[in-house]
Every structure is written in C-alpha cells, then in structure tokens.
C-alpha cells in the first residue's frame, strides 16, 4: 500500500514537473526561429520595425528559456530521486541519448544565448544573427534527442534484454524507431503553432491597448499566417501519427476512440462517458463509422478494442480510458478552434485589409487563444503519455517497477512545494508578458533599460 | 578500438569518473562564482545589485549546464549509483532544485517588472542562491559522512552547507573584484577578505572529517608513501591562501592590476580541495559501498558517449572561451539592444 502511494505521488509529481517544463520549450523551440526570421527581415529591408519586434520577443524568449532551463534541471534529477528503476533497466539506451542532448544542444544554446541576448552592441551584426541561429539550432537539436528517447519508450527496438537490463544492439534502429519521425514532426509543428498564437495573441493585446504600431501589424500578421499554414500541415501530420500509433500501440488508439470491442464500423465519438468498470460508454454521441474511416479509410475497417488488452486474471493491460479519451478530445477541439480562428482572420485580413479588417470579436478572440497552443500541447502529451500506461517503456518496463523507495510523506511534501512554486511562477510569467505588452502600449519606459528601445512607440493613426 | 587500451570495462569507468569529476569541478568554480554573487546581493545597494547581476548575466546559464553535465554523466555512466545517491539525498536535492528555479527565474523577472516587484525578485534571487549553495554543501557533507543517517552526519552536513555558502560568496567576491569598478570593487575586496576565513575553516573541517569517517580513507592518507605524495596538497593550499590574503590586502591597485589574481587563486584552491576529495573516494562512487566499476553502464553504451565527448568537448571549450572573450573586461549594463 505504501509503495502504491509513493507510486501515485511520484507520478503526479513527475507529471506536474514535465507539464510545467514543456510549456517553455514549446515556446522557445519555434520562437528561436521566429527571431531568426525577424533578424533576417531586418537585414534584408533595413526596416527598424523588425528590430523592434526582435527586441520585444527576445525578452519573451529569455524569460521562457530560463523557465525551461530550471524546470529541465529538475527533471534530470527526478530520474534519480523518484525513478531510479528507469536508468537501471534502460540506462544503456536512455543514457547516450540524454548525453548527446547535453553535449550537442544544452551547452551550445546556453553559451550563445548570452551573446544573443546581451551581445548586440558587442559583436558585429552577422555574429549576433549567427548566435541567434545557433541558439535556434540548439533548441531544435534538444527537441530531436529528447523525442528520440521519448519515442523509443513508446516503440522500443534495437536492443536486447540481458538479466532484465536493456543493452543496445543497433543504434540506428534505436534512433529511428517507428514513432520517432511522426512524433518529432508533430511536436515541432505544435511548437510552431503555440508560438504563432502567442505572437498573434500578444500583438492583438497590444493593439486593443492602443498600440497601433507598424510593429504590432507585422507581428500579428506573421502570427496569423504562421498559424493558418502550420495548422493544415499539423492536421495531416497528426493523422499520420495516429495511424502510426494504431500500428504500434493499438491499446492507446482504442482508449482514444473509446472503443471496447474490436470491430468494423466504429463511430467517431464526439461525446461519451467511458465506464471502465462496466466496460461500456454512456451517453454516446458519435458519427457513424467515423473512427473506422479515419483510421482505416474504410467504413467497415476494423478498429482495435480495449477488451483485447485484458490479462487472463482480469488485470488491465490498457491505459486508463477516461484520461486518454478526454485529453485527446481537448487536443482535437483546441486544434479545431485554432484552425477556425486562424483561417477566418487570414480571410478577413486579405488584400491589405490588415488588422482593421478584423471585427472586434475576432481580434478579441486572439487574446484567450494566445495560450491555446499550451492547452493543445499538454492535452496531446497527456494523450500519448497516459496512453502508454501501464508501461514506462512499452513491453519492457512497467511504471510501477521503476519507482524509487522514498517515503510517501517526503514525496508529498516536495510535490506540494513544487506545485506552489510552479503556480507562482506561471502567474508571474503571464503577468510579465502582459506587463511587457502594456509598457510598450502605453509607452512607459521599460525598467532596467538605460534608454527605451529604438522606436519603441510608433503610434500610427488608424487608417 | 575498444580494446586498444586494455579491458574497456576497466578503463571506461575511470574515464567517465574523471569526466564527471571534471564537470563537478568546473561547475563548482563557475556556478560557484555566480551563486556567490547572488549570496552577496543583500550587502549591495540597488545600482550595485544591477551591476552585480550584469557581471554574471551572460554566463550563469552555461555555468549551470555543467551541473546538468555532471548529473548527466552520473545518470548515464553510473546508473546504479545515480539512483542510490539521489534517493538518499532526496530532500536536499529538492531544496537545491527549488533554489535553482527561484534564482534562475528571479534573474529574468527582476529585469522585466516594475520597481516594487523587483525588490521581491531580488529577495528571491538571494534566497534561491542561498538555498542552492546550502543544499549543495549539505550534500557534500552528507556524502563525506557516507550517506548514513545519524545526528553527527546531519550536523556535519549542515556545517558543510554553511562553509560552502561562505566559500561560494568568497569566489563570488573574487569575481566581482575582477569585473567591478569603484565603490563596488572596494566592497568586493572587503567581502573577499571576510570570506576567505570561511574557506579556511571549511577546507580544514572537511580535511579533518574525511579520514576520520572512513578507515579506508585514513589508510589512503596516512600510510607511507602516500602521506608524502599527498603532502604537497595541503602545503600548496596553505601557500595559496597566504598569497591570496597578501594580494587582497593591497587591492585594488591604482592601475587595477592583479584584479584577476584572487579569482584565479580561488579557482586553484577549489581545484586542490576537490582533488583531495576525489583521491580519497576513488574508486568508490557511493562511499564504501559501490565502486565505479560496479556501477558503470555497459561498455558499448559508454563508448558511444565517449566518441561524442571527444568530438564535442573541444568545441564546447572553444565557444565557452568565446563567450568569456566577448563579455571580457568590466561589467557593463546588461541590455538587449
């Protein structure tokens, strides 16, 4: 019983840490490249508005990066403090992948971040651009390695078990494991979308606060175009990822679809209350044969059912259904809202109508949607990670076998401490984004800066 | 290639233990100075605080990466020890992590908020720095006591936390002597003169305790000929301390010459103390329980990492040097544009 409590608390603690952590890399991965874009536009056009945009968003980048670094360090320690079984059994594979992340990504991004943030007046412009590019490459490399490891935990291959310990036999197979390419693309696009909506949302906020500047026009437009374009690619990539999951992790797909029996003509459920005890859904509302069509491209295509994943003694070998079923719907629902808003805005802004083309309701809709990328990303991660349960490494290591022997009271107290500090930091983070937007919008000089950034307030009359 | 230097199950753990030791040492010196600057902030006025933060701004993130590197090597090269050590150090690790979270974020937040809130973030920066250094010192002390729970062990660990905090503030003050000018530099010299006592006491206490805790370490220190081979360590340390002391009494000079000397001396002092510890505990990674050979990962995984290390380390060293070169000289205001 005591181990059970420790297990549950350790899972909640790791989930809390990783959920908090992923919010910030999700921003920095794509924002790094957006900053490169701003810098290159400035180099090409000589228009200082692009540098204004750079200096505003580089602050968001710096803050997000710091949040990502400190919460990331936390996780590297929690492998040992809470999940010693993970490294003991699959350390031979996870180890080198993590080592390559540190060596090829962490140092590079950390070192060049200093030059990128504070070196503009100290190094030539090309070197500053170069530092920005290297930081962006660093964050992307980091994404690559960590998703290789994460994907390997979902679809492990290229190893053999000796005395319960995994030994690598084929590094190519480990790195290019079946779900890696799909997951990597899906996550990179999610980062792009998160940043697109953050760009558009904060720009819309500045606009409604009265900052009708050329900079806000440009960043809002960039956000909308980026969102609309990436959303289409993401729907396709997400579909491909789903098909990959169907092939390698059918139990997860069964939980996502809320499908109990393996059969054809499975409906696409819009709403249902899956009941794991009764092993059926209540209050189902669905599109007939929808799930079969999406997953197999045939109306009578067979979709795996959860009842196939029950051991003879009645214990579950499939993930908890409700959590997976609902996080999947939150992700897709958020995605649909993102699709609708970005394409409506794109249409309304067509042919130089610009921000003025946007009705109030559309402009204001961007404010709450500024963080829609976070919601979709978290929901997506919950779908895939809870969907892997009861395994930590599919078929190799169960989650409960990896947990450390720490007193539950100790885990509970650190969990409370982490939750409190995360809540405070998240509040402060969002508060600072709004504050940065407001100081720009009302033209107050910024704290900590000797002089306001060049051309900070370029108020343009509304045409 | 793997068998070129003999049995890889023998030399690979040694190489990785050396790499881990090097990472910890680099971390202690580099993040030591920026933690130390954080610990010293309450002693400075508002403008000086900004300058102090500016002196570490471009570096702290990369400095902290060495901690990730060190724990990463422990994690990947000695997975069994990683679990054993970190579960034994559960609470101090959690406190350190919260400290690192506080100071890392406070660093960014304090530069981006209105003045009243900035004061609060200054506090967070200080508290986070102290939490980090106290818990690191605690872990060091507890590790030396063999990771065994007893009143003496926890008492010694607390003391060690205090000493490391003073030690970090000393190297932080030495960094400021190098990077600051005027009034702040004068203050830094004063802080360093006070801090050096903490270093002397700390190194002394740890040197006394280490052989007393473990008969094995006693044996390694005081048998012949080891005792003669080891003798240079304390002698050089003593000479260094005297040298730093003499220099501190004459700083700052009119032409600002020798401002780099205390920091270089402090770095060497940390290196010597660390060498002594590393010598004492080798070949154990968990004191008197688990050797590096027993705890090591499979050779075929270690060799993959080693190839990367050999290629990447010179590059990391190169661009780290570049960053210190770009931000050389006295600290200026940190500005994005």
Per-residue pLDDT tens over the stretch A247-287: 888 889 888 888 888 888 888 888 888 888 888 888 888 88
What is the C-alpha separation between A99 and B291, in angstroms, rounded? 21
pLDDT at A4: 54
Range from A17-21, A115-119, A352-356, A457-461 that averages highest in pLDDT: A17-21
Burial of residue B330, with CB atoms counted within 10 A of its CB: 0-12 exposed, 13-18 middle, 19 or more buried: middle
pLDDT in tens, A56-112: 999 999 999 989 988 888 887 887 788 888 888 888 888 889 888 888 888 888 888
pLDDT at B186: 87
Q: How far is B238 from chain A (nearest CA, A)?
A: 35
pLDDT in tens, A363-392: 899 999 999 999 999 999 999 999 998 889
Mean pLDDT of chain B: 86
CA-to-CA dists, residue B291 to B82, B224, B273, B285, angstroms: 12, 24, 21, 5
Interface test with A, best of B20, B23, B94, B106 (most A CBs within 10 A): B94
Range from A35-39, A84-88, A98-102, A409-413 that averages highest in pLDDT: A35-39
What is the C-alpha separation between A211 and A200, in angstroms, rounded? 14
A with B: how many residue pairs have Cβ under 8 Å apart? 235
Residue A443 pLDDT level (bands cut at 50, 70, 90) = low
Residue A452 pLDDT level (bands cut at 50, 70, 90) = very low
- CB neighbours (10 Å) of residue A150? 20
Q: Determine the average pLDDT of the residues in A154-177.
A: 91
Look at residues B259, B196, B270 and name the one whose alpha carbon lies nearest to residue B237.
Answer: B270
pLDDT in tens, B166-212: 999 999 999 999 888 888 888 888 898 888 888 888 888 888 888 88
Burial of residue B8, with CB atoms counted within 10 A of its CB: 0-12 exposed, 13-18 middle, 19 or more buried: buried
The answer to whether the beta carbons of residues A131 and A116 sit under 8 Å apart is yes
Q: Which of A77, A417, A449 sits opposite B93 (nearest CB)?
A: A77
pLDDT in tens, B46-59: 888 888 988 888 88
pLDDT at B1: 53
Inter-chain residue contact B105 with A104, CB threshold 8 Å: no
Look at residues A129, A126, A132 and name the one whose alpha carbon lies nearest to residue A112.
Answer: A132
Q: Which of B68, B86, B118 sits opposite A81 (nearest CB)?
A: B86
Q: Which residues from chain B sit within 8 angstroms of residue A88, using beta carbons?
A: 79-80, 83
Q: Which residues from chain A sit within 8 angstroms of residue B77, using beta carbons?
A: 95
A412 has a pLDDT exceeding 70: yes
User: Which has more pLDDT, B39 or A261?
Assistant: B39
A449 has a pLDDT exceeding 50: no
Inter-chain residue contact B82 with A80, CB threshold 8 Å: yes
Tell me whether residue B334 is in a domain: no
3-class SS letters over chain A:
CHHHHHHHHHHHHHHHHHHHHHHHHHHHHHHHHHHHHHHHHHHHHCCHHHHHHHHHHHHHHHHHHHHHHHHHHHHHHHHHHHCHHHHHHHHHHHHHHHHHHHHHHHHHHHHHHHHHHHCCCCCCHHHHHHHHHHHHHHHHHHHHHHHHHHHHHHCCCCEEEECCEEEECCHHHHHCCCCHHHHHHHHHHHHHHHHHHHHHHHHHHHHHCCCCCHHHHHHHHHHHHHHHHHHHHHHHHHHHHHHHHHHHCHHHHHHHHCCCCCECCCCEEEEEEEECCCCEEEEEEEECCHHHHHHHCCCCCCECCHHHHECCCCCECCCCHHHHHHHHHHHHHHHHHHHHHHHHHHHHCCCCCCHHHCCHHHHHHCCHHHHHHHHHHHHHHHHHHHCCCCEEECCCEEHHHHCCCCCHHHHHHHHHHHHHHHHHHHHHHHHHHHHHHHHHHHCCCCCCCCCCCCCCCCCCCCC
Q: How far is A307 from chain B (nearest CA, A)?
A: 37
Q: Which residues from chain A sit within 8 angstroms of residue B112, using beta carbons?
A: 59, 63, 432, 435-436, 447-448
A133 has a pLDDT exceeding 70: yes
Per the omega criterion (within 30 degrees of 0), is the bond before A390 cis? yes
Tell me whether residue B3 is in a domain: no
pLDDT in tens, B66-76: 888 888 888 88
Q: Determine the average pLDDT of the residues in A423-442.
A: 87
Residue B4 pLDDT level (bands cut at 50, 70, 90) = low
Range from A197-206, A271-280, B303-312 that averages highest in pLDDT: A197-206
Interface test with B, best of A80, A100, A409, A430 (most B CBs within 10 A): A80
Cβ-Cβ contacts under 8 Å for A87 (sequence gap 6 or more): A79, A80, A94, A95, B75, B76, B79, B82, B83
The pair of structure tokens assigned to A64 is 């997000």
Inter-chain residue contact A95 with B79, CB threshold 8 Å: yes
Look at residues B157, B191, B158, B161 and name the one whose alpha carbon lies nearest to residue B174.
Answer: B191
Mean pLDDT of chain A: 86
Burial of residue B75, with CB atoms counted within 10 A of its CB: 0-12 exposed, 13-18 middle, 19 or more buried: buried
Work out how many domains chain B is built from and give that number.
1
The answer to whether the beta carbons of residues A247 and A302 sit under 8 Å apart is no
Q: Which of A77, A117, A406 sits opposite B71 (nearest CB)?
A: A77
Tell me whether residue B335 is in a domain: no
Q: Which of A87, A102, A106 sits opposite B83 (nearest CB)?
A: A87
Tell me whether residue B79 is in a domain: yes
Interface confidence, given as ipTM, is 0.81
Q: Which residues from chain B sit within 8 angstroms of residue A133, using beta carbons?
A: none
Q: What is the share, in percent, of chain A residues with pLDDT greater than 90?
A: 38
Residues, chain B = 337
Q: Determine the average pLDDT of the residues in A200-224.
A: 90
Residue A122 pLDDT level (bands cut at 50, 70, 90) = confident
Residue A446 pLDDT level (bands cut at 50, 70, 90) = very low
Tell me whether residue B336 is in a domain: no
Tell me whether residue B1 is in a domain: no
Q: Determine the average pLDDT of the residues in A139-148.
A: 94
Q: How far is B309 from chain A (nearest CA, A)?
A: 7
The answer to whether the beta carbons of residues A377 and A322 sit under 8 Å apart is no
- CB neighbours (10 Å) of residue B178? 21
User: Which has more pLDDT, A314 or A447?
Assistant: A314
Per the omega criterion (within 30 degrees of 0), is the bond before B149 cis? no
What is the C-alpha separation between B181 and B333, in angstroms, rounded? 13
Q: Please tell me the least confidently modeled range out of A17-31, A228-242, A390-404.
A: A390-404
Q: Determine the average pLDDT of the residues in B26-35.
A: 91
Q: Which residues from chain B sit within 8 angstroms of residue A402, using beta carbons?
A: none
pLDDT at A270: 85
Q: Which of A59, A92, A119 sits opposite B297 (nearest CB)?
A: A92
pLDDT at A370: 92
pLDDT at B3: 63
Tell me whether residue B70 is in a domain: yes
What's the Rg (C-alpha) of chain A? 24
- Name the residue range of residue B244's domain: 8-326
């Amino acid at each position: 019983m005591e181990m059970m409590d420790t297990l549950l608390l350790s899972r909640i603690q790791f989930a809390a840490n990783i959920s908090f952590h992923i919010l910030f890399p999700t921003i920095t991965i794509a924002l790094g490249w957006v900053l490169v874009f701003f810098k290159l536009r400035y180099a090409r056009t000589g228009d200082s508005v692009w540098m204004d945009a750079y200096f505003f968003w580089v602050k968001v980048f710096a803050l997000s990066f710091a949040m990502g670094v400190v919460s990331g360090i936390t996780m590297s320690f929690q492998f040992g403090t809470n999940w010693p079984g993970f490294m003991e059994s699959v350390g031979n594979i996870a180890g080198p992948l993590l080592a390559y992340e540190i060596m090829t990504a962490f140092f590079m991004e950390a070192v060049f971040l200093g030059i990128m943030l504070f070196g503009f007046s100290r190094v030539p412009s090309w070197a500053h651009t170069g530092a920005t590019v290297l930081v962006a490459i660093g964050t992307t490399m980091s994404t690559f390695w960590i998703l290789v490891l994460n994907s390997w935990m979902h679809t492990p291959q290229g190893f053999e078990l000796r005395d319960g310990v995994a030994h690598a036999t084929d590094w190519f197979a480990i790195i290019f494991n079946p779900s890696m390419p799909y997951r990597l693309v899906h996550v990179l696009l999610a980062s792009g979308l998160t940043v697109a909506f953050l760009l558009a949302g904060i720009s819309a906020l500045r606009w409604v606060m009265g900052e009708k500047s050329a900079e806000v026009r440009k960043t809002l437009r960039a956000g909308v175009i980026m969102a609309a374009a990436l959303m289409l690619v993401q729907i396709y990539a997400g579909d491909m990822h789903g098909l990959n999951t169907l092939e390698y992790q059918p139990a997860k797909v069964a939980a996502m679809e809320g499908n109990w029996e393996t059969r054809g003509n499975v409906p696409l459920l819009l709403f249902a209350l899956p009941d794991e005890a009764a092993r059926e859904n209540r209050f189902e509302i669905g599109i007939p044969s929808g799930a079969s069509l999406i997953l197999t491209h045939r109306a009578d295509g067979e979709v795996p059912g959860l009842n196939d994943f029950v051991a003879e003694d009645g214990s579950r070998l499939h993930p908890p259904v409700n959590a997976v079923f609902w996080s999947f719907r939150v992700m897709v629902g958020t995605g649909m809202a993102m699709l609708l808003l970005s394409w409506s805005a794109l249409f309304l802004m067509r042919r130089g109508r610009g921000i003025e083309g946007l009705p109030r309701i559309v402009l204001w809709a961007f404010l709450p949607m500024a963080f829609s990328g976070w919601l979709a990303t978290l929901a997506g991660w919950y779908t895939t990670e809870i969907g892997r349960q009861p395994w930590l490494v599919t078929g190799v290591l169960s989650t409960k076998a990896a947990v450390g022997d720490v007193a539950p009271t100790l885990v509970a107290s650190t969990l409370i401490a982490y939750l409190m500090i995360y809540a405070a930091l998240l509040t402060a983070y969002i508060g600072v984004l709004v504050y940065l937007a407001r100081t720009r919008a009302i033209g107050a000089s910024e704290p900590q800066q000797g002089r306001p950034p060049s051309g900070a307030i370029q108020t343009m009359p509304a045409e | 290639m793997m068998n070129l230097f003999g049995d890889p199950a023998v030399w690979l753990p040694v190489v990785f233990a050396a790499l881990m030791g090097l990472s910890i040492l680099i971390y202690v010196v580099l993040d030591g100075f920026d933690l130390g600057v954080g610990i010293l902030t309450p002693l400075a006025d508002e403008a000086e605080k900004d300058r102090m933060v500016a002196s570490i701004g471009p570096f702290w993130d990369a400095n902290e990466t060495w901690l990730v590197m060190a724990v990463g090597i422990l994690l990947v090269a000695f997975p069994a020890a990683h679990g054993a050590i970190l579960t034994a150090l559960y609470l101090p690790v959690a406190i350190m992590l919260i400290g690192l979270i506080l100071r890392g974020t406070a660093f960014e937040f304090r530069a981006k908020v209105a003045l009243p809130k900035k004061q609060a973030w200054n506090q967070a920066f200080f508290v986070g720095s102290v939490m980090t250094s106290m818990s690191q010192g605690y872990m060091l002390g507890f590790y030396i006591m063999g990771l065994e729970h007893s009143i003496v062990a926890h008492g010694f660990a607390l003391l060690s936390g205090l000493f490391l905090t003073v030690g970090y503030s000393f190297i932080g003050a030495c960094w400021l002597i190098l990077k600051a000018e005027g009034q702040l530099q004068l203050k830094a010299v004063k802080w360093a003169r006070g801090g050096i006592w903490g270093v002397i006491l700390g190194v002394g206490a740890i040197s006394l305790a280490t052989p007393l805790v473990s008969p094995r370490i006693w044996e390694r220190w005081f048998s012949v000929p080891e005792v003669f081979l080891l003798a240079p360590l304390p002698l050089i340390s003593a000479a260094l301390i005297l040298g730093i002391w003499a220099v501190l009494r004459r700083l700052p000079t009119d032409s600002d010459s020798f401002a780099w000397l205390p920091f270089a001396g402090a770095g060497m002092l940390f290196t010597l103390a660390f060498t002594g510890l590393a010598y004492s505990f080798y070949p154990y990674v968990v004191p008197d329980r688990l050797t590096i050979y027993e705890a090591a990962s499979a050779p075929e995984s270690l060799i993959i990492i080693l190839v990367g290390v050999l290629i990447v380390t010179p590059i990391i060293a190169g661009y780290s040097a570049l960053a210190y070169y770009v931000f050389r000289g006295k600290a200026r205001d940190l500005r994005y544009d």
